[in-house]
Amino acid sequence: MLASILHRVSGDGMALVGLFVLLWWLGALASGPEYYETFTGYMTSPLGYLVLVGLSWAFFTHLCSGLRHFVMDVGAGYELDTNRLWSIASPAIAVALTAGFWALILLR
Amino acid sequence: MGNGTSIGKVRGLGSAHHGAHHWLVQRFTAVGNLVLSIWFIGSLLLLGDLSYANVSAYFAKPVPATAMTLLIVSVFWHARLGLQVLIEDYVHTPGNKFAVLALLNLATLGGAAFGLFCVVRLALGGAA
């Protein structure tokens, strides 16, 4: 049940917040360097980082549970043990990927 | 054709056949999202600093500009289908449901058009 809720929350969360940030970013780029500064100012504030970390977590969570969906769509992984394992593993892997993503960004 | 109850009106009509199409397109766009978002995350990591000069020069190149337009189409389409399911699960009043779905169509089509326009502007060098 948690896997299902996480898939919906992360997907619809990205659809509502993530696409807005994506369009804001593209719009800032298309508007020129001056407005891009304003955008990066917002995004590098503490609240901006919170939004970006949240979106990256939502992305990796939805990616992992989406891949789990593909496996189940072909009829595999319905054994109780297997199903339980991956319903716990996919959000856990997503947290690890989120941490890895930010580690790569902050350490480069 | 039944006695006017809800189930009586639809009994024997079979499936509307919209569900299977929705389900398939959700998967097709998911595959598109998978490929394009891995490209996008990889680009963000490999670009180094995300300064204006760096990012705008990147999207001025043909391949990244094409990938970004494809990403916008695939992601907005997928998001529209996902939000439609959310709406259908929680908004049951017919008039309200129509209104929210119409709003969803306007928002996702408008958003995608805006995103595509921005990429075209970056790619064709119209930005100030």
Residues B36, A12: Cα–Cα separation, whole Å: 19
pLDDT higher than 60, residue B2: no
Q: E strand or H helix at B94, and its extent?
A: helix B94-123
Residues of chain A with pLDDT below 50 are none
Mean pLDDT, chain B, integer: 92
Instruction: From residue B87, give the alpha-carbon distance in Å to each of A72, B6, B18, B100.
Output: 24, 21, 16, 7
From the CA of A93, how many Å to the nearest CA of chain B?
16
Asked if B86's CB is within 8 angstroms of A12's CB, the reply is yes
What pLDDT, on the 0 to 100 scale, is given for residue B15?
Answer: 81
pLDDT tens readout for residues B52-83: 999 999 999 999 999 999 999 999 999 999 99
CA distances from A69 to A75, A87, A91, B18 (A): 10, 10, 13, 20
Alpha-helical regions (H) of chain A = 2-13, 19-31, 33-43, 46-73, 80-107
Q: Could you give the CA distance from residue B111 to residue B60 in angstroms, rounded to a whole number?
A: 21
Q: Cα B31 to the chain's mean position, in Å? A: 13
Please indicate whether, in this complex, the C-beta atoms of A23 and B118 are within 8 angstroms of each other: yes
Q: What is the mean pLDDT of residues B103-124?
A: 97
Question: What's the pLDDT at B19?
Answer: 86
Lowest mean pLDDT among A102-106, B20-24, B115-119, B124-128: B124-128
Residues of chain A neighbouring B25 (CB-CB closer than 8 A) = none
User: What pLDDT, on the 0 to 100 scale, is given for residue B8?
Assistant: 81
CA B30 – CA A73 distance, rounded (Å) = 13
Its pTM stands at 0.91
Tens digit of each residue's pLDDT (9 = 90 or more) over A41-58: 999 999 999 999 999 999
pLDDT at residue B17, as a whole number: 78
Looking at the predicted structure, is the pLDDT value of residue B127 above 70? Answer: no
Inter-residue contact A6 to A57 (CB < 8 Å): no
**Cβ contact (<8 Å) for B52 and A37?**
yes
Q: What is the average per-residue pLDDT within B38-53? A: 94
